[in-house]
Amino acid sequence: GRTAALIPAAGSGTRLGLGPKAFVEVAGKSLLVRSVAALAPLVDEVLVALPEGSSLPEGLPARAILGGETRQDSVRRLLQATSADVVLVHDAARPFLPAHVVHALLEAIPETGAATVALPVADTLVRGEAGRWGGLVPRESLWAVQTPQGFRRELLLRAHAAARAEGFAATDDAGLVARLGLPVTLVPGDARLFKVTTPGDLALAQALARVWDA
């Protein structure tokens, strides 16, 4: 079957404060260009959801559609714009995507039809209560969820339709599938897949780009 990469890139980048985040450059290349470049060689097509009034850079091997109000809306539109059997949803805000992670994800999808990249949590975790230590959260079984996330397209369409019908909002797509009581496979991710959200993340990305692009 065919595989499509779906890249929600229609966010406004409010927390970074540099305009639409996907177009922010790290060492001369935008977050969006970096995400497309990582995925294009590994899939049959790449679709990108963009903010109103923007367009894809010339020559990028991807097709653009208009994004929605929320990330969830943008992904739903992307799902409707492809007929691929398998979709990989990846945030433009995670520009450093190693090929081995995509391969591992693609291998994991057939078993359950839904898989996400995630990292076992390394830090000590604690609940904050009014700025004070409110008690340890055992980290043994905890994973931090990243993207890409891979699905049989039909399954993710169904999960999105259910969430929409019930007014349920999530920050990712695997959560919508899990919410239906269906299994989602966890695939070990990579620290380099961190999401560029704050100015501190951007500084980290600039440092990493020097090694990544070398």
**Adjacent-strand bridge partners of 133:** 128
If the CB atoms of residues 47 and 184 are measured against ligand C5P, the closer one turns out to be: 47
195: nearest Cα among 75, 97, 119, 93:
93
Quick one: which of 54, 63, 66, 68 contacts ligand C5P (CB under 6 A)? Answer: 68
Quick one: which of 6, 21, 39, 163 contacts ligand C5P (CB under 6 A)? Answer: 21
If the CB atoms of residues 87 and 132 are measured against ligand C5P, the closer one turns out to be: 87
The answer to whether residue 67 forms part of the interface with ligand C5P (CB under 6 A) is: yes
If the CB atoms of residues 67 and 138 are measured against ligand C5P, the closer one turns out to be: 67
CB of 9 to ligand C5P, least distance (A): 5
| Separate counts of helices (H) and strands (E) for the chain | 6, 11
144: nearest Cα among 186, 84, 184, 182:
186
DSSP state, residue 172: S
Beta carbons within 10 angstroms of residue 2's beta carbon: 13
The answer to whether residue 46 forms part of the interface with ligand C5P (CB under 6 A) is: no
The answer to whether residue 92 forms part of the interface with ligand C5P (CB under 6 A) is: yes
Q: How many residues bind ligand C5P (CB under 6 A)?
A: 18
Instruction: Give the Cα separation of 151 and 108 in Å (integer).
Output: 10
Quick one: which of 5, 6, 9, 102 contacts ligand C5P (CB under 6 A)? Answer: 9
